[in-house]
Chains A and B, each alone.
Chain A
Amino acid sequence: MPMDAKTSRICRMVVIVATVAVAGWSAVIAEVPLVLISAATGGFLFYLCRSRMEEVVVDERDERVSERAAKVAVEAFAAASALVGVLFIAARDEHPGLMNVGFALAFSASTLMILYSALYGYYNRRYGYEPCDEE
């Protein structure tokens, strides 16, 4: 059933609220399969609400905005979590409880940068990168 932008937005909001409620409740009662099922169902319903929309809501400008926002967010998060992580690890003598948090932050920053580098390489090749051969 085709939807206009407003109906689609309402549909997506209802799906998000319902999914978060069910997944949250499942987490509270410690039911891992129910969390996974509700997340998968919510994702599918969200996709349905979005794909049934007749109007254009995401175009090249939105993608450009997303690209820039994502790049800045990744850089800011990686730099901040690496710095805070290292500081927490360095302060382990005064605050032993912070050491694990520090390692978690430092590892997440490293993982993010590794993932970014791998995806950068993939998309760089996909969009025509070829090594320059000097002749």
Chain B
Amino acid sequence: MRNKIKVYRAIFELTQEELAKKLGVTRQTIIAIEKDKYNPSLDLAFKMARIFGVKIEDIFVYDEELLDPEERGGSGRGGAPPPS
């Protein structure tokens, strides 16, 4: 999952600390999400979207390449989509 949190933070002139406080999480979590190291829960993603006044898909872009191998499923094919 890729995201545009950094962009939206810049637009709304929010520091990582301020955004973390608004969301009720630690700054470390914001850093991890921005670096695509951690995928937030739906709850947190909705809160973020609400703060920025946009839809979730405006902030988060689904990208299977970045998924944790465990989260891709055990197909053994690197998470490739099933043949249609």
Contacts and interface: CB of A to CB of B under 8 A. Distances in A.
Which interface class (under 10, 10 to 19, 20 to 34, 35 or more) fits B?
10 to 19
B24 A59 contact: yes
A56 B38 contact: no
A64 B44 CA distance: 14
Nearest to B43: A60
B48 to A, nearest CB: 12
A30 interface: no
24 contacts: A56-B20, A56-B21, A56-B24, A56-B25, A56-B26, A57-B26, A58-B26, A59-B24, A59-B25, A59-B26, A59-B29, A60-B25, A60-B29, A60-B40, A60-B43, A60-B44, A61-B25, A61-B26, A61-B29, A61-B32, A61-B38, A62-B26, A62-B29, A64-B38
Contacts of A61: 25-26, 28-29, 32, 38
A64 B38 CA distance: 10
A64 B28 CA distance: 13
Interface in A8-61: 56-61
